[in-house]
Amino acid sequence: MFLIYYFLISFSLIGYGFLLSRILKIDCTHYGYLGLIGLSFLIFISYSTTLFYHHGYQFNLLILLIGLLVFLFSLKLDKNFKINLKQHIIVFLILIIFIYVGKNHDDFPYYHFPYSHLLTQIEHPIGLGQLNHGFRTPSSLFFLNSLFYLPKIEFYLLHISPVYFLGFSNLIFYNFIKERTIYEKFKSINFFSLLSLSFINVFFYRLAEHGTDRSGMILIFVMMVIALFIQNNDNEKRNLNLFYFFCVIMAMLVSLKPFYIIYFPLIVILLFFNFRKNLIKILKSKTTFYCIAFISFVLFFNFINSSCLVYPAEFTCFKNFYWSIDSDEIKTLNQWYELWAKAGATPNYIVNDRANYVSGINWLPNWTENYFFNKVSDYLLSLSLFLIIFWFIFMFKRKKKKTNYSKIKFRLLYLFFILCLLEWFFKHPALRYGGYHIIAILCFIPLSIYLMSVKIDFRKFMTNATIMMMLVITIFISRNINRLIKENKLYNFNPIISYKFNYDKKFYNRYFDNINKNKTNYKKSLFLGKEFIITKIE
């Protein structure tokens, strides 16, 4: 049932993507785009229903079935469904090894799993942030996961969402890689797509490390490819269509983790430089209203959990609700996140003067010693090796031609990511908080533009691209096989025998022991927040 649900969910997501694309009038039939739109729609459905109905077996089966029926209906309208279906099946067959995991990341039992599973048992209460500080910043992944609680499989699919972000993004990148018309006009887009596809599969190969961070990073790579394409393409209709998709993905990105809101200026950049003539049309579009409603849900659930619109930004917090978090605690946690990112706190030690440590660049020597070496330095070395291999495949013994680089529009986007790098470095210089994708993108753009000078026709490019992708697939599979071997030794996990990951029953029991006993009383106190949590879940 594990693999059956895995594929059925992927097809259902395409169905929901098809449905939402028709509602918003986004013209696309490619499964990569439809899959990501479908993820957005399922999150929207989860947001809009969880206050009134728990996501149990019956509800989730109905959601799954509706998506599958729409998917089957969409096949009649898709002239390229055989090609799309073939590519989809190949990608998700390769990713099967990705979804088997013996132990998830440390935050999974602490608040990812409890939050998702809570939504499958009861309607969403107010004041969850009083129970666990991780609940104060609810990622949309938790709401999405709750829809994957299904018969026979129970909660063993509540960790699986990242595979769909990875799989559908791979399909989008491949679509850009193989498009001849793009290659003939501005081949840097093809190269950037190939670099992005290769990077996310080599560096983000472990599901247990994804959490809520890497799915967002993957979406940023997708958005960057689309932004570069829009800025260099003269087909207004296609650009506008891609921009609507871009906005849907931006809304979903912000819902994954609050700090991704810093990428919102990308929309402003595209609006001002590419869509000024269509500004009124865009503002009146259904996509704009959908994105506003989507972001409103994000802010709403942040608010009912912590009384803050964006936690732990204190200026967005309201102090007079009975579930409000104390101001001093908000300040302390805000400082703690920055302290952790700047290597002032680890599982082994915490600096004494926290406020002084995080101010200015006082943190830099310690961060350099304890974080740059060896985490950032190892990443930079790995990225350098990755770029050298890529350069070697496409540039070895090939002549260059004169290229007018000034025709390629990328400078404003590049400047924006330089600013993001500075913000990342001075505020939260941990790779998981943006370093991975920002550094990679700043390397990929100049390399992609430089490779425009190589004398290579499209047929030869696709041959070399295939070599690169086969190398990536080999690395992806071999690293996951090695991971599973280690997990077998550490956790006695054997995916051939069982798909069930290990979880900490201590956390599970802490939150759910009394739920079934108190469901009647709970119905009467759905919006009592702190009272419910204190009396029913301790």
Per-residue pLDDT tens over the stretch 218-238: 999 999 999 999 998 888 889
Each residue's pLDDT tens digit, 43-62: 999 999 998 889 999 999 99
Report which of 162, 259, 265, 279 is spatially closest to residue 209, judged by C-alpha positions.
162
Binned at pLDDT 50, 70 and 90, residue 534 comes out as very low
Phi, psi of 199 (to 5 degrees): -65, -50
Residue 509: pLDDT over 70 = no
Q: What is the pLDDT of residues 136-177, one digit of tens each?
A: 888 999 999 999 999 998 888 999 999 999 999 999 999 999
**Residues 467 and 393 sit within 8 Å (Cβ to Cβ):** yes
What's residue 508's pLDDT?
Answer: 56
Per this entry, what is the length of the chain?
538
419-457 burial, b at 16+ Cβ within 10 Å, e below that, comes to: ebbeebbebbbbbbbbbbbbbbbebbbebbbbbbebebe
Scan for tokens 């207004």, then name that residue. 236
Write out pLDDT tens, residues 83-110. Answer: 999 999 999 999 999 999 988 887 888 8
pLDDT at 517 over 80: no
Q: Which three-class secondary structure string do you get for 476-497?
A: HHHHHHHHHHHHHHHHCCCCCC
Band (pLDDT 50/70/90 cuts) for residue 447 is very high
Model confidence at 531, pLDDT cuts 50, 70, 90, reads very low
Highest mean pLDDT among 8-17, 122-131, 388-397, 489-498: 8-17
d(CA 90, CA 326): 51
- Position 129 scores a pLDDT of 84
Q: What pLDDT does residue 492 have?
A: 86
Alpha carbons 452 and 125: distance in angstroms, whole number = 55
> What share of the chain has pLDDT > 70, as a percent?
91
- pLDDT for residue 518: 46
- Give the tens place of pLDDT for each residue, 186-212: 889 999 999 999 999 999 999 988 888
DSSP assignment, residue 263? G
Answer for the pair 103, 208: CB distance below 8 angstroms, yes or no. yes
User: Can you give the pLDDT at residue 336?
Assistant: 84
**Among 13, 432, 371, 34, which Cα is nearest to 204's?**
432
Task: State the Cα–Cα distance between residues 186 and 50, nearest whole angstrom.
Answer: 45
* Cα 94 to Cα 77, 91, 169, 254, distances in angstroms: 27, 5, 14, 29
Calpha distance 162→127 (Å, rounded): 27
Measured CA to CA in angstroms, residue 262 lies from 76, 265, 373, 434 at distances of: 40, 7, 27, 11
Report helix, strand or coil for 528: coil
Q: What gap in Å lies between CA 32 and CA 15, rounded to an integer? A: 12
Confidence of residue 504 (pLDDT cuts 50, 70, 90): low
